[in-house]
């Protein structure tokens, strides 16, 4: 992780791109589908004009395509590879030899297939390595780089290797539901309910981070390992740790790509979508509109596109810091009938009003499930009654009586669901509720499944009842 941070920090100014050369060719050519919103722009905004690139070329130049992934070093993705510096260059007519020294605290890999130059004259070039000596750090390059590297240049040996292995695993295990671009539209997706996550919003439901924070790597890893009970997301527990990490990084890469695309399009959508252009044509000429777009793409868009990348890098980096993590200020209140009763009272209270969605008995049948909602984007009513999530899927509140908790059944999991809400869904954040109260609700929720009848809280929880006679015997 530190490795990539070192890269990105050093190169933020350069806005440097690394091409992660995909070795060999893949079975079939695939591409990252663009979002519907991108496709709704006029052609000039999508593809750009003579003067400047539009959304699609900007996106492609930073993220590449599945065969030729690009590493945009602004983004906090673990690209893989070892960072090293050129120590000495010796070239003859037939070959070029470079000796590398690892960056401080790093070591050189035992095998190496290619090197990417990040700084110096040769920056941006990727050259294959034909002979590699891990002991001395000496490499024989397959070809002469166009611009010769000099000693002191920063480079990445096998840069992007982790991302590529993530891609291979993702295509094998995940893409048939989540889609090549992470749009949740893989071939099996249409048979599933709930629908597979569309990562392109950059939003993940079950996180241990604050309501405003992105998902952390740890959260994604948990979901991969343990699956999401009650959905089609299975557990991948038997995969190796490094494989899981590679998938997590690739999913984050796809999420950032999708989110970046959305942000780019938002810069253009209000003025240059097919719809708004056809409205504008009533009193403007098309050539004027294109001219205006041309100037926007040339003068403002590149800087905006860069700063959007910086923002993205910041929020995704922040998600893995301690500050983002939800840590209850008090330990879990021990489970007791008293605590459960308080939990139920809070659950029914008008301030928290859990019953409005989850129902008085927690069966997930509150009055909100019968209401017709407005689509917040289009402003139209949804066709079916009930709550909808950010992805416009019907997403009814959980039936809490069934004991199936999608984001996990540990007390901390439920605590996070209440504290941060479920991102992208109508479950709001209750971060201002005192933590002790949240624990009471957690205790109530965990007991709901075992109630003899709705609202009937047992005299003593089973565990306490067992412990009591033993204590009396002492």
For another protein, which is the closer residue by CB, 303 or 459?
A: 459
State which of residues 463, 469, 473, 474 lies at the interface with another protein (CB under 8 A). Answer: 463
Interface region with another protein, contact rule CB under 8 A, candidates 46-54, 110-118, 119-127, 456-464 = 456-464
Interface region with another protein, contact rule CB under 8 A, candidates 36-44, 354-362, 423-431, 458-466 = 458-466
State which of residues 31, 143, 278, 449 lies at the interface with another protein (CB under 8 A). Answer: 449
Joined together, the tokens standing for residue 218 give 């740890």
Burial class (CB in 10 A: 0-12, 13-18, 19+), 334: exposed
Interface region with another protein, contact rule CB under 8 A, candidates 35-43, 58-66, 271-279, 325-333 = 325-333
Cα–Cα dist 249/78, whole Å? 6
Output the DSSP codes for 41-93: B-HHHHHB-SSSB-HHHHHHHHHEETTEEEEETTS-----SEEEEEEEEEE-S
For another protein, which is the closer residue by CB, 463 or 471?
A: 463
Cα–Cα dist 81/84, whole Å? 10
Residue 468 in contact with another protein, rule: CB under 8 A: no
| Smallest distance, another protein to C-beta of residue 213, A | 15
Residue 462 in contact with another protein, rule: CB under 8 A: yes
Cα–Cα dist 35/302, whole Å? 20
Residue 417 in contact with another protein, rule: CB under 8 A: no
State which of residues 326, 354, 420, 422 lies at the interface with another protein (CB under 8 A). Answer: 326
Torsion sign across C-alpha atoms 40, 44, 47, 52:
negative
Number of residues interacting with another protein: please give it, by CB under 8 A. 35
Residue 207 in contact with another protein, rule: CB under 8 A: no
For another protein, which is the closer residue by CB, 115 or 416?
A: 416
- What are the two backbone dihedrals, phi and then psi, of residue 185, each rounded to the nearest 5 degrees? -125, 40
| Smallest distance, another protein to C-beta of residue 419, A | 10
40 contacts 137 by C-beta, under 8 angstroms:
no
List the interface residues with another protein, window 373-412 (CB under 8 A): 403, 409-412
Residue 321 in contact with another protein, rule: CB under 8 A: no
290 contacts 249 by C-beta, under 8 angstroms:
no
Cα–Cα dist 43/273, whole Å? 9
Joined together, the tokens standing for residue 173 give 């295990």
Q: Which residues contact 424 (CB under 8 A, 6 or more apart)?
A: 201, 203, 204, 205, 389, 390, 391
Distances in whole angstroms, Cα of residue 57 to Cα of each of 44, 49, 244, 353: 11, 11, 31, 48
Residue 76 in contact with another protein, rule: CB under 8 A: no
For another protein, which is the closer residue by CB, 195 or 332?
A: 332
Residue 467 in contact with another protein, rule: CB under 8 A: no
- SS3 assignment, position 154: strand
> How many beta carbons lie within 10 A of that of residue 455, not counting itself?
12
For another protein, which is the closer residue by CB, 34 or 415?
A: 415
For another protein, which is the closer residue by CB, 74 or 406?
A: 406
Helical residues (DSSP H) of 273-336, grouped into ranges:
274-280, 286-299, 301-318
For another protein, which is the closer residue by CB, 119 or 180?
A: 180
For another protein, which is the closer residue by CB, 236 or 260?
A: 236
| Smallest distance, another protein to C-beta of residue 459, A | 14
Write the binding mask 153 to 192 for another protein: x where contact by CB under 8 A, - elsewhere. Answer: --------------------x--x-----------x--x-
- What are the two backbone dihedrals, phi and then psi, of residue 83, each rounded to the nearest 5 degrees? -90, 135
For another protein, which is the closer residue by CB, 176 or 431?
A: 176
Interface region with another protein, contact rule CB under 8 A, candidates 30-38, 155-163, 221-229, 278-286 = 221-229
| Smallest distance, another protein to C-beta of residue 190, A | 12
Residue 140 in contact with another protein, rule: CB under 8 A: no
Write the binding mask 267 to 306 for another protein: x where contact by CB under 8 A, - elsewhere. Answer: ----------------------------------------
357 contacts 387 by C-beta, under 8 angstroms:
yes
Task: Report how far apart the first and last C-alpha atoms of the chain are (Å, whole number).
Answer: 53
Joined together, the tokens standing for residue 33 give 């589908």
| Smallest distance, another protein to C-beta of residue 326, A | 7
Distances in whole angstroms, Cα of residue 137 to Cα of each of 89, 96, 112, 133, 408: 12, 14, 10, 5, 46
Write the binding mask 332 to 361 for another protein: x where contact by CB under 8 A, - elsewhere. Answer: x-----------------------------
For another protein, which is the closer residue by CB, 154 or 174?
A: 174
Chain residues binding another protein by CB under 8 A are 173, 176, 188, 191, 208, 226-227, 229, 232, 234-235, 237-238, 325-328, 330-332, 403, 409-412, 415-416, 439, 446-447, 449-450, 461-463
């Amino acid at each position: 992780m530190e490795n990539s941070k070192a890269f990105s920090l050093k190169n933020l100014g350069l806005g440097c791109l690394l091409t992660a050369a995909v070795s060999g060719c893949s079975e079939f050519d695939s591409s990252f589908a663009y979002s519907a919103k991108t496709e709704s722009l006029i052609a000039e905004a999508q593809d750009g004009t003579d003067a400047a690139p539009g959304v699609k070329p900007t996106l492609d130049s930073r993220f590449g395509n599945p065969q030729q992934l690009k590493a945009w070093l602004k983004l906090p993705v673990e690209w893989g590879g070892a960072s090293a510096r050129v120590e000495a260059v010796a070239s003859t007519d037939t070959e070029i030899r470079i000796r590398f020294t690892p960056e401080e605290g790093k070591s050189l890999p035992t095998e190496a297939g290619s090197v990417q130059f990040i700084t110096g004259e040769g920056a941006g070039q990727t050259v294959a390595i034909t002979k590699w000596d891990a002991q001395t750090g000496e490499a024989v390059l397959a070809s002469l780089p166009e611009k010769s590297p000099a000693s002191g240049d920063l480079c990445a040996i096998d840069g992007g290797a982790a991302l590529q292995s993530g891609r291979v695993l993702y295509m094998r295990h995940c893409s048939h539901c989540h889609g090549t671009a992470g749009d949740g539209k893989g071939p099996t997706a249409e048979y599933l309910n709930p629908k597979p996550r569309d990562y392109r919003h950059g939003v993940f439901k079950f996180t241990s981070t604050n309501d405003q924070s992105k998902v952390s790597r740890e959260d994604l890893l948990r979901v991969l390992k343990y699956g999401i009970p009650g959905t089609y997301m299975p557990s991948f527990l038997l995969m190796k740790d490094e494989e899981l990490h590679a998938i997590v990084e690739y999913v984050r890469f796809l999420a950032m790509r999708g989110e970046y695309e959305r942000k780019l399009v938002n810069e253009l959508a209000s003025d240059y979508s097919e719809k708004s252009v056809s409205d504008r044509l009533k009193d403007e000429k098309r050539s004027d509109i294109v001219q205006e777009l041309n100037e926007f793409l040339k003068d403002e868009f590149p800087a905006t596109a860069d700063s959007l990348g910086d923002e993205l890098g910041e929020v995704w980096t922040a998600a893995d810091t301690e500050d983002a993590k939800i840590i209850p200020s008090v330990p879990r209140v021990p489970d007791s009938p008293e605590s459960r009763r308080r939990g139920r009272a809070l659950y029914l209270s008008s301030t928290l009003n859990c019953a409005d969605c989850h129902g008085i008995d927690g069966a997930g049948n509150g009055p909100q499930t019968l209401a017709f909602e407005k689509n917040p984007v289009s402003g139209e009513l949804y066709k079916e009654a009930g709550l909808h999530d950010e992805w416009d899927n019907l997403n009814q509140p959980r039936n809490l009586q069934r004991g199936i908790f999608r984001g996990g059944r540990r007390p901390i999991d439920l605590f996070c669901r209440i504290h941060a809400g479920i991102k992208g869904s109508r479950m709001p954040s209750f971060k201002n509720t005192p933590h002790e109260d949240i624990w009471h609700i957690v205790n109530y929720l965990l007991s709901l499944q075992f109630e003899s009848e709705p609202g009937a809280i047992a005299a003593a929880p089973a565990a306490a009842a067992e412990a009591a006679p033993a204590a009396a015997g002492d």
